[in-house]
Chain A
Amino acid sequence: MAGPEIILVFASNTLILNAEDLLEERGLPFTLVPVPKEVNPNCGLAISFVESDHDLILPVLEAAGLRPAMAYRRHGDDFSSWPLSH
Chain B
Amino acid sequence: MIYFDNGATSFPKPPQVASAVMAALAAPASPGRSGHAAAMSAGRTVHRARKAMARLFGIKDNSRLCFGPNVTWALNAALFGLNLQKGDHVLSGTLEHNSTARPLDRLRRERGVDWEAVPSRGGRMLAEDFKSRLRPETRLIVLNHASNVTGALAPAREIKEAAGGVPLLLDAAQTAGSVPLDDAGDWVDLLAFTGHKGLLGPTGTGGLYVSPEIELLPFSVGGSGSRSESLEHPGFLPDALEAGTANTHGLAGLAAGVEYLLERGVPAVREHELGLAGLFLEKIGGVPGVSVQGPKLGEEDRVAAVSLNLAGWSSSDLAAALEREHGILVRPGLHCAPLTHRELGTFPGGSARFSFGPFNTADEIAAGARALASLAAGGGR
> Which A residues fall within an 8 A CB radius of B?
11-15, 17-18, 21, 32-35, 41-45, 65
B62 contacts the other chain (CB 8 A): yes
B51: chain A residues within 8 A (beta carbon):
21
Q: Which of B36-44, B193-201, B362-370 contacts A (4 or more CB under 8 A)?
A: B36-44
Taking a contact as CB atoms under 8 Å apart, the answer to whether A42 and B228 are in contact is yes
| Chain B 213-253 residues near chain A, CB threshold 8 A | 225-229, 234, 236-239
Cα(A17)–Cα(B225), bound, Å? 14
User: Which of B33, B63, B236 sits near A43, CB closer than 8 Å?
Assistant: B33
Top-3 shortest CB links A-B:
A34-B35, A13-B32, A17-B47
Taking a contact as CB atoms under 8 Å apart, the answer to whether B35 and A35 are in contact is yes
A33: chain B residues within 8 A (beta carbon):
35
Cα(A65)–Cα(B62), bound, Å? 12
Taking a contact as CB atoms under 8 Å apart, the answer to whether B226 and A11 are in contact is yes
User: Which of A13, A15, A17, A34 sits near B36, CB closer than 8 Å?
Assistant: A34
A14-B62, A17-B44 in contact; A41/B229 too (CB < 8 A)?
yes
A-contact 0/1 string along B10-36, CB 8 Å cutoff: 000000000000000000000111111
Cα(A33)–Cα(B37), bound, Å? 9
Taking a contact as CB atoms under 8 Å apart, the answer to whether B225 and A13 are in contact is yes
A18: chain B residues within 8 A (beta carbon):
47, 62-63
Between-chain CB contacts (< 8 Å), 5 pairs:
A12-B32, A14-B238, A34-B36, A43-B32, A44-B35
A14: chain B residues within 8 A (beta carbon):
47, 50, 62-63, 238-239
CB distance from B90 to the nearest CB of A (A): 30
CB distance from B110 to the nearest CB of A (A): 32
The CB with the most chain B CB atoms within 10 A, among A33, A41, A45, is that of A45
Cα(A9)–Cα(B44), bound, Å? 17
Taking a contact as CB atoms under 8 Å apart, the answer to whether B226 and A42 are in contact is yes
CB distance from B61 to the nearest CB of A (A): 8
Query: Taking CB as reference atom, which chain A residue is nearest B34?
Result: A43
Taking a contact as CB atoms under 8 Å apart, the answer to whether A43 and B226 are in contact is yes
New A-B contacts (19) at CB < 8 Å, excluding given A17-B44, A65-B61: A11-B226, A11-B236, A12-B63, A12-B234, A12-B239, A13-B31, A13-B43, A14-B239, A17-B43, A18-B47, A18-B62, A21-B47, A32-B40, A33-B35, A43-B33, A44-B32, A44-B35, A45-B40, A45-B43
Taking a contact as CB atoms under 8 Å apart, the answer to whether B35 and A13 are in contact is no
B44: chain A residues within 8 A (beta carbon):
17
Cα(A33)–Cα(B239), bound, Å? 20
CB distance from B40 to the nearest CB of A (A): 6
Query: Taking CB as reference atom, which chain B residue is nearest A36?
Result: B35
Taking a contact as CB atoms under 8 Å apart, the answer to whether A42 and B227 are in contact is yes
A35: chain B residues within 8 A (beta carbon):
35
B228: chain A residues within 8 A (beta carbon):
41-43
B34: chain A residues within 8 A (beta carbon):
34, 43
Query: Taking CB as reference atom, which chain B residue is nearest A66?
Result: B63
A65: chain B residues within 8 A (beta carbon):
61
CB distance from B374 to the nearest CB of A (A): 53
B63: chain A residues within 8 A (beta carbon):
12, 14-15, 18
Cα(A32)–Cα(B50), bound, Å? 19
Taking a contact as CB atoms under 8 Å apart, the answer to whether A44 and B36 are in contact is no
Cα(A15)–Cα(B32), bound, Å? 11
Taking a contact as CB atoms under 8 Å apart, the answer to whether B238 and A12 are in contact is yes
CB distance from B28 to the nearest CB of A (A): 16
CB distance from B228 to the nearest CB of A (A): 5
Taking a contact as CB atoms under 8 Å apart, the answer to whether A13 and B226 are in contact is yes
